[in-house]
Amino acid sequence: MEKILVTGGCGQIGSELVSALRGKFGNENVILTDINVPNYEVQEIGPWEILDVTSYESIKAIIKKFEPTRIFHMAAILSATGEKIPQTAFKINLLGTFNVLEIAREFGVRQVIVPSTIAAFGPETPKINTPNETVMRPNTMYGITKVSIELLGEYYAKNYKIDFRSLRYPGIISSDVKPGGGTTDYANALYFDAAAKKKSIVFVNPQTTLPFMFMPDALDSIIQLSEAPQENLVHRSFNVAAFSCTALEIAESVKKYVPNFQFDFVPDHRDKIAASWPQSIDDSVARKEWNWRHKYDLDGMTRGMLKNLNVISG
């Protein structure tokens, strides 16, 4: 029987991942942990614990209590917040992951899944159809910690036989929990602002182009990767993609369904971070090794978001 521990389980992806994993493995077999307390309804559904991943002893106590077979390590500080508090981002992202891997080694946790990101690439990386293997010289603390995490995980896999797997997410768009300080937050905000009948001020250039993915695809990809037969995997860190678009294309996609939606572009320092990232991603390695297929394009995502936010019906 699998027992799964999720760190960062109150976050944008972690919260929906916990629900998806509980649907698959049973509420009792998925332990939600986070430095924050989950809301009351979530507390009622299944086991949860307060956990700060920078504390080795706290992780150890929870691993001893629940004896998980797999960890989905989602706790992190994202790109934009990471540039405000780089020292904290280093501790939570890199030392937090080191703690998780060390405890997995000590207590024989079979598998550790840690999302990476397109922010692991940098200004010298080819920006169009960025390959799985290429130059990785990011210039944000977030990106630096994520490249290091990929390498650290691969080291633990090679030397300690921990089944480490990682996927480089693009910007993830979802409606349940607002995003936590990333550079792609403007895209989520366009939908939330449309739902709140508010003018959206977009903090990047209209032509800023990035890869994106709708949450159902983000959940499918991480669960599929975790379940892929080991013998099919040559790599441990994978590009994953769905579609790429400009900020203006997202705004126009919303406006197609909400004709009176107003938006404006006021680029700030986050546009520079976006400019250092790939515009499109080649994920053929993931498609070949674990059969990754996305389901949502921009229009499908817009309809899904606006339905979830009760802006359109159907």
Ligand X SMILES: NC(=O)c1ccc[n+]([C@@H]2O[C@H](COP(=O)([O-])OP(=O)(O)OC[C@H]3O[C@@H](n4cnc5c(N)ncnc54)[C@H](O)[C@@H]3O)[C@@H](O)[C@H]2O)c1
120 binds ligand X per the rule CB under 6 A: no
Task: Find the part of the chain contacting ligand X (CB under 6 A) among 23-31, 52-60, 226-234, 305-313.
Answer: 52-60
47 binds ligand X per the rule CB under 6 A: no
Which phi-psi region, left, alpha or beta, contains residue 97 (left: φ > 0; alpha: ψ -120 to 50)?
Answer: alpha
46 binds ligand X per the rule CB under 6 A: no
Nearer to ligand X, 27 or 58 (CB): 58
Among 6, 13, 32, 189, interactor with ligand X by CB under 6 A: 13
Residues numbered 168-187 forming contacts with ligand X, rule: CB under 6 A: 169, 171-172, 179-180, 182, 184
Angle, to 10 degrees, between the axis of helix 141-160 and the axis of helix 96-107?
Answer: 10
Nearer to ligand X, 17 or 195 (CB): 17
Q: What is the maximal distance between C-alpha atoms in the chain?
A: 58
Nearer to ligand X, 186 or 263 (CB): 186
Contact yes or no for 166/233 (Cβ under 8 A): no
117 binds ligand X per the rule CB under 6 A: yes
Contact yes or no for 267/203 (Cβ under 8 A): yes
Contact yes or no for 303/312 (Cβ under 8 A): yes
Sign of CA dihedral 190, 212, 128, 183: positive
Q: Which residues does residue 31 pair with via DSSP β-bridges, in sequence order?
A: 5
Q: Active-site residues: which are they?
A: 142
Nearer to ligand X, 262 or 272 (CB): 272
d(CA 71, CA 31): 10
Contact residues for ligand X, defined by CB under 6 A: 7-8, 10-14, 34-36, 51-54, 74-76, 78, 92, 96, 115, 117, 169, 171-172, 179-180, 182, 184
